[in-house]
Amino acid sequence: MSDRHPDHYVAPVDETQPGAVDQVKLSARKSNMWLDAWRDLRKRPLFYVALVLALLVTVVALFPSWFTPLDPNAPGACLLADSNGAPVDGHPLGFTRQGCDVYSRIIYGASTSLTVGLLVVAITGAIGIPMGAIAGFYGGWVDSFLSRVGDIFFSIPYFLAAVVVMSVMSEYRNPLVISFAIGGFAWASLARIVRAEVLRNKNLEYVMASEAIGRSRGSTLLKHVLPNSMGPVIVTLTLSLGAAITAEATLSLLGIGLNGYMSWGNEIAQAQQTLRTNPSALFWPSLALTLTVLAFTFLGELIRDALDPKARARR
Amino acid sequence: MTLYVLKRLLQAIPVFFGTTFLIYFMVFSMPGDPVLALFGDRTPNPAVLEAVREQYNLDQPFIVQYFLYIKDFFTGDLGVTFSGQSVNEIFARAFPTTLMLVTIAVVAEFILSVGFGLLSGLRKGKFADHASLLLALVLNSIPPFVALFVAQYFIGIKLGWAPVTVGANVTWGALMLPGITIALTIYVVGMRLMRGSVIEAREGDYVRTAYAKGLTSKRVIPVHVARNSLIPVITNTAASFGALIAGTTVTEGIFNIPGIGKVLYDAIGLSEVSTIVSFVTILTVMYIIVNILVDLLYAVLDPRIRYV
């Protein structure tokens, strides 16, 4: 070859027939964004730890009676004689100031925390995804208008907004109201993310192809652009699940959270008074809360990492 | 540049009116009588009720109420709390304390971000990188109030290294524990920015040039790599300054620090809706102002930002 091309290398075109280039190996493994991400996730031990923790919390929330024979809602569940008591047989984590069993209250509090977390995620998604998608896809004055509305919601720290809503709605402190108080303002950052993703996707060839074969704008957005923009959305929603559970607990700690519901935030708020004398009543619900938030945060972070080919390469 | 500043300020005007209107609208459109809510469980005298209604312009149509409120806000009259104290006075008394607390948190956050980010970026893919990222993520997942309770219990009560609560005697030393604890729960964002830009900078041509002309890494790392990686960390730190001012309620409540957050914390405890609304509005406006300053700072620090 060197005698034919003395100066520089030229690919041996004669030897490679055009047909060989076009031939695709059908036996090769299928691959797309989600499969690549899944293959990466499967190799990370932390993913399993987070997944098992998240599933455990979900099962505890759905079937609390599987985990404790005690019913903390039953009359006479708390005996003042046990006030601030140390762990004994059948009560592995001791007692609160009111003489309630700490362990069973944590188990029964899980469903409240998870319900609020999932409701907030649903509300955030239900407002944030359409707002961002419509703004990004249609552009023009629609984008200007929706983005300015988003800016306003984005500029009020969502926790402060929730404080205002919850203190005004003092008679309606139930999971639905608290979820709207948090999610009603937390959607703005999701809308920004969705808008950026849709903007990135909407000028790609597949969108043009979809319109060329006669699909309407709206249908293209729903069937092609939006599904391809879902990666960051799923990451953000998973992370916001943890943030929402924290927000609910914080509002309950301030005394404007849920009223009459057993929740980790309420347990922590009550145990705060006995921080010096009975720190374990504060410690255990805090640990349950922290591990739950940790599980969802890590799931979100690992999915983010797995979906991003650049981040995979950077490791 | 002047054009950019003007444009950014103009953008803030609808946001200012939008946010204040939204807060105002939220309070006055919710079920329940806001004036009755002021009195909690007590039943007020009808004459008092009328007087309060007039004081808050509640006898006017909603939109008039809102503009009267904005007029007062711009003329520097932030209103009175339920117990009759001037909001201006409370603000002037409490704000310096919050500023001290947030300054400690922000400085600690900056040091942690730069330190761990540099370590992580220089040891990319090695044990130190994974370990410090994992640590920062775990700390970030701990709900702030849990971290504060843990710090208060172990460092304050058990070890006695810091005052358990701050109280009236506000000193830099007493604010160290809550400030640093808060910094520990948020530094992951800044650390990642630092890590990313350190990794990018090390592959940059100017760093290769620096090595090529014979400089040792002792000089290249601090002067060429670290200094050029600081811009995103600085702007992130400035942004968290705004978020922290708005979010000191729990910190100041737990450590009994007499700042703005504590005023809000107490008002929440006593269900004084008008005080809550006043201070939420003030904090939101401060948050907006800090965010404008952050954008301007970003434009000043990074000449590549186009002023359009």
Comparing A90 with A227, which gets the higher pLDDT? A227
B149 near A CB under 8 A: yes
Q: How far apart, in Å, are the Cα atoms of A88 and each of A31, A92, A100, A268, B249?
A: 55, 6, 13, 21, 37
At residue A190, the pLDDT reads 93
Residue B80 has pLDDT above 90, yes or no: no
Between CA A258 and CA A247 the distance in angstroms is: 12
Are the Cβ atoms of B146 and A156 closer than 8 angstroms?
no
**What pLDDT band is residue B302 in, cutting at 50, 70 and 90?**
confident
At residue A134, the pLDDT reads 93
Q: In chain B, which residue's Cα lies nearest the Cα of A246?
A: B143
Q: Is A186 within the bounds of a domain?
A: yes
**What pLDDT band is residue B252 in, cutting at 50, 70 and 90?**
very high
C-alpha triplet B293, B295, B299: angle, nearest 5°:
110
Q: Is A7 within the bounds of a domain?
A: no
At residue A77, the pLDDT reads 67
Query: What is the residue-averaged pLDDT of chain B?
Result: 84
A41-57 average pLDDT score:
90
Are the Cβ atoms of B146 and A290 closer than 8 angstroms?
yes
Q: Is A283 within the bounds of a domain?
A: yes
At residue A118, the pLDDT reads 94
Residue B231: both structure tokens together = 């811009």
**What pLDDT band is residue A201 in, cutting at 50, 70 and 90?**
confident
Between CA A311 and CA B272 the distance in angstroms is: 48
Q: Which of A216-225, B10-19, B91-100, B162-171 has the lowest mean pLDDT?
A: B162-171
B277 near A CB under 8 A: yes
Chain A contact set for B264 (CB, 8 A): 163
Which residue from B23, B27, B143 is facing A156, i.e. has the nearest CB? B23
Adjacent-strand bridge partners of A91:
A88
Mutate: best of A57, A159, A168, partner B, most B CBs <10 A: A168
**What pLDDT band is residue B35 in, cutting at 50, 70 and 90?**
low
- Kindly report the nearest CA distance between residue A67 and chain B, in angstroms: 25
At residue A109, the pLDDT reads 87
At residue A169, the pLDDT reads 81
Between CA A272 and CA A283 the distance in angstroms is: 10
Helix axes B2-29, B273-301, angle to 10 degrees: 160
Which residue from A161, A167, A249 is facing B268, i.e. has the nearest CB? A167
pLDDT in tens, B281-294: 888 888 888 888 88
User: In degrees to the nearest 10, what's the CA dihedral of A129, A135, A136, A142?
Assistant: 160
Comparing A315 with A39, which gets the higher pLDDT? A39
Residue B47 CB burial class (10 angstroms; 0-12, 13-18, ≥19): exposed
Q: Is A296 within the bounds of a domain?
A: no
Q: Is A182 within the bounds of a domain?
A: yes
What number of CA atoms fall less than 13 Å from residue A98's CA on the CB side?
12
**Burial per residue of B211-233, b for 16 or more beta-carbon CB atoms within 10 angstroms, e otherwise:** eeeeeeeeebbeebbbeebbbbb
Structural domains counted in chain A: 1
Cβ neighbours for A173, distance < 8 A, ≥ 6 positions apart? A166, A256, A257, A258, A259, A260
Nearest to B152 by CA among A275, A38, A258: A275
At residue B46, the pLDDT reads 78
User: In sequence order, what DSSP letters do the residues of A256-308 get, joined into one string?
Assistant: -S-SS---HHHHHHHHGGGTTT-HHHHHHHHHHHHHHHHHHHHHHHHHHHHH-
At residue B308, the pLDDT reads 46
At residue B98, the pLDDT reads 93
Q: Is A103 within the bounds of a domain?
A: yes
Q: Is A307 within the bounds of a domain?
A: no
A3-17 average pLDDT score:
62
**What pLDDT band is residue A1 in, cutting at 50, 70 and 90?**
very low
A314 near B CB under 8 A: yes
At residue B31, the pLDDT reads 62
- Kindly report the nearest CA distance between residue B156 and chain A, in angstroms: 11
Please answer whether residues A179 and A123 qualify as being in contact, where contact means their C-beta atoms are separated by less than 8 angstroms. yes
Q: In chain B, which residue's Cα lies nearest the Cα of A251?
A: B250
R_g over Cα of chain A: 26
Between CA A37 and CA A176 the distance in angstroms is: 34
Domain at A243, CATH number:
1.10.3720.10
Residue B175 has pLDDT above 80, yes or no: yes
At residue B204, the pLDDT reads 85
pLDDT in tens, A129-166: 999 999 999 988 999 899 889 989 988 888 888 988 88
Residue B103 has pLDDT above 90, yes or no: yes
Mutate: best of A47, A145, A152, partner B, most B CBs <10 A: A152
SS3 A86: coil
Residue B108 has pLDDT above 50, yes or no: yes
Query: What is the residue-averaged pLDDT of chain A?
Result: 83
Mutate: best of A49, A153, A164, partner B, most B CBs <10 A: A164
**Burial per residue of B272-298, b for 16 or more beta-carbon CB atoms within 10 angstroms, e otherwise:** bbbbbbbbbbbbbbbbbebbbebbbbb
At residue A2, the pLDDT reads 47
Residue B47 has pLDDT above 90, yes or no: no
Are the Cβ atoms of A165 and B26 closer than 8 angstroms?
yes
Which residue from B143, B153, B283 is facing A279, i.e. has the nearest CB? B153
Chain A contact set for B14 (CB, 8 A): 148, 151-152
At residue A11, the pLDDT reads 65
**What pLDDT band is residue A76 in, cutting at 50, 70 and 90?**
low
- Kindly report the nearest CA distance between residue A4 and chain B, in angstroms: 37
Please answer whether residues B19 and A152 qualify as being in contact, where contact means their C-beta atoms are separated by less than 8 angstroms. yes
A144 near B CB under 8 A: no
Q: Which of A163-172, A293-302, B97-106 has the lowest mean pLDDT?
A: A163-172
Residue B198 has pLDDT above 50, yes or no: yes
Between CA A314 and CA A309 the distance in angstroms is: 9
Question: What percent of chain B is predicted at pLDDT more than 90?
Answer: 20
A291-305 average pLDDT score:
89
Are the Cβ atoms of A168 and B284 closer than 8 angstroms?
no
Q: In chain B, which residue's Cα lies nearest the Cα of A257?
A: B268
At residue B57, the pLDDT reads 66
**What pLDDT band is residue B228 in, cutting at 50, 70 and 90?**
confident
Between CA B211 and CA B227 the distance in angstroms is: 16
Question: What percent of chain A is predicted at pLDDT more than 70?
Answer: 86
B274 near A CB under 8 A: no
Helix axes A140-155, B273-301, angle to 10 degrees: 120
Are the Cβ atoms of B141 and A286 closer than 8 angstroms?
no
At residue B106, the pLDDT reads 95
What one-letter code names the amino acid at A28? A
**How far is residue B223 CA from its own chain's centroid?**
31
**How far is residue A147 CA from its own chain's centroid?**
23
pLDDT in tens, B115-155: 999 999 998 888 999 899 999 999 998 999 899 988 888 88
Residue A223: both structure tokens together = 């069937």
Please answer whether residues A169 and A177 qualify as being in contact, where contact means their C-beta atoms are separated by less than 8 angstroms. yes
Residue A268 has pLDDT above 50, yes or no: yes
Q: Is A68 within the bounds of a domain?
A: no
Between CA A213 and CA B52 the distance in angstroms is: 66
> In terms of DSSP H, where are the helices of A173-216?
175-201, 205-212
Parent domain of A264: 99-290
A145 near B CB under 8 A: no
Which residue from A164, A253, A315 is facing B280, i.e. has the nearest CB? A164
B47-76 average pLDDT score:
76
Please answer whether residues B276 and B7 qualify as being in contact, where contact means their C-beta atoms are separated by less than 8 angstroms. no
A297-308 average pLDDT score:
86
Q: Which of A78-92, A199-213, B158-172, B179-193 has the lowest mean pLDDT?
A: A78-92
Chain A contact set for B246 (CB, 8 A): 157, 159-160
Please answer whether residues A233 and A129 qualify as being in contact, where contact means their C-beta atoms are separated by less than 8 angstroms. yes
Are the Cβ atoms of A254 and B253 closer than 8 angstroms?
yes
